[in-house]
C-alpha cells in the first residue's frame, strides 16, 4: 500500500461520512444527550446531597457524576459506528467500494481510521464540556480539573466513547446488517451488561465486559474495590475487546464476497 493510495482512500471515506446526514446527526445527538443529561443529574445530585447517607457522601465522585449522561450518549456513538460501516452494505455500494479498493485491509483500515478520528474529536470535546457543565451544576460539591485523577478521568471519558464507536464498527463489519448489529449491540450494552454486572453470581464476569471495564477509567473515587484492575487496566481490557472485534471484522471481510 502506497501513501498515495492510502491518502485517496482516506479522502474517499471522509467524503462518504460527511455526505450521509444520519452519521453527522448521531454525533450531534451524542453531544447533546451526554452534556444535557449529565448536567441534569449533577443538578439533582447537588440538591439531594445533604440528605444522602454518610457512606454515599464519602464515596461521592463529582467527576463520575457529571458523566451520568454518557451511558445514554454512547447509544448515539453505537449508531454512528454501525452506520459508518453498514450503510454501504444496505445500499449495495460496498461492491463499488471494494472494486475501487481491492486491498480489503486498506479499505477497512482507512474507513475505521477516519471514523475513529471523527468520533475521537467529538467524544473528547463532549467529555470536557460535560465535565465543566456538570461541575458547575454541582457547585459546592464540585471537583477541579487539577485534582488527583480528574484529568485522567475526563480524558478517559473521551477515549471510552471513541472505543465504543470503534467496537461497534468492528461488530458491524462482521454482521454487515445495520438492524442485526444494533439488535445485538443495544441489548448487550443496555440490558445484558447491566444484569451481569449487578447480579452477585455473575458480577465477576460482568466486570470484564467492555463497557464496565472501560468505564473504570472515568472514575476518580473507586467503588468496586474488589476489581482486580485499576482505571487503565480496565481501559486495556476494553481495548482488547475492540481489537478482537476489528480482527473478526477484517477476517470475515477478507474471506467472504461483498
Instruction: Give 33-54 pLDDT, tens digit per residue.
Output: 999 999 999 999 999 888 888 8
In a domain, 143, yes or no: yes
pTM, rounded to two decimals: 0.92
In a domain, 69, yes or no: yes
Cell representation of residue 253: 471481510
| pLDDT digits 0-9 by tens, 150-194 | 999 999 999 999 999 999 999 999 998 899 999 999 999 988 998
Instruction: Calculate what percentage of the chain has a pLDDT beyond 90.
Output: 58
Cell representation of residue 148: 488527583
Which residues have CB under 8 Å from 106's CB, separation 6+?
1, 5, 6, 9
Cα torsion 174, 14, 90, 33: sign: positive
In a domain, 18, yes or no: yes
Distances (CA, A) of 174 to 179, 218, 250: 13, 29, 8
In a domain, 103, yes or no: yes
Which residues have CB under 8 Å from 215's CB, separation 6+?
160, 234
State how many domains the chain has.
Answer: 1
Burial class (CB in 10 A: 0-12, 13-18, 19+), 22: exposed
Cell representation of residue 208: 470484564
Q: How far apart (Å, rounded) are the C-alpha atoms in residues 67 and 74?
A: 11
Burial class (CB in 10 A: 0-12, 13-18, 19+), 60: middle
Q: Is 196 helix (H, G, I), strand (E, B) or coil?
A: helix
In a domain, 6, yes or no: no
Burial class (CB in 10 A: 0-12, 13-18, 19+), 177: middle
In a domain, 2, yes or no: no
Mean pLDDT value across the chain: 90
Question: In this model, does residue 87 exceed pLDDT 70?
Answer: yes
Q: Is 179 helix (H, G, I), strand (E, B) or coil?
A: helix
In the block, which residue shows the cell 463532549?
126
Closest CA to 234 of 176, 173, 152, 179: 152
Question: In this model, does residue 258 exceed pLDDT 60?
Answer: no
Residue-number span of the structural domain to which 133 is assigned: 11-255
Amino acid at each position: 500500500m502506497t501513501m498515495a493510495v492510502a491518502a485517496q482512500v482516506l479522502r474517499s471515506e471522509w467524503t462518504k461520512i460527511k455526505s450521509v446526514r444520519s452519521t453527522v446527526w448521531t454525533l450531534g445527538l451524542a453531544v447533546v444527550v451526554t452534556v444535557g443529561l449529565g448536567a441534569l443529574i449533577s443538578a439533582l445530585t447537588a440538591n439531594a446531597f445533604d440528605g444522602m447517607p454518610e457512606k454515599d457522601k464519602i464515596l461521592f465522585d463529582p467527576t463520575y457524576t457529571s458523566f451520568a449522561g454518557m451511558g445514554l450518549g454512547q447509544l448515539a456513538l453505537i449508531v454512528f459506528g454501525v452506520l459508518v460501516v453498514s450503510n454501504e452494505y444496505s445500499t449495495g455500494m460496498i461492491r463499488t467500494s471494494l472494486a475501487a479498493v481491492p486491498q480489503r485491509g486498506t479499505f477497512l483500515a482507512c474507513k475505521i481510521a477516519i471514523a475513529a478520528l471523527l468520533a475521537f474529536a467529538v467524544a473528547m470535546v463532549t467529555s470536557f464540556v460535560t465535565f465543566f457543565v456538570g461541575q458547575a451544576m454541582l457547585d459546592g460539591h464540585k471537583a477541579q480539573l487539577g485534582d488527583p485523577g480528574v484529568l485522567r478521568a475526563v480524558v478517559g471519558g473521551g477515549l471510552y466513547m471513541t472505543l465504543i464507536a470503534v467496537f461497534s464498527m468492528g461488530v458491524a463489519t462482521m454482521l454487515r446488517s445495520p438492524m442485526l448489529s444494533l439488535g445485538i449491540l443495544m441489548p448487550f450494552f443496555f440490558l445484558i451488561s447491566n444484569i451481569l454486572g449487578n447480579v452477585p453470581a455473575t458480577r465477576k464476569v460482568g466486570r470484564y465486559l467492555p463497557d464496565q471495564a472501560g468505564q473504570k477509567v472515568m472514575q476518580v473515587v473507586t467503588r468496586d474495590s474488589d476489581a482486580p484492575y485499576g482505571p487503565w487496566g480496565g481501559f486495556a481490557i476494553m481495548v482488547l475487546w475492540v481489537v478482537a472485534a476489528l480482527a473478526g471484522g477484517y477476517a470475515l471481510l477478507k474471506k467472504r464476497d461483498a
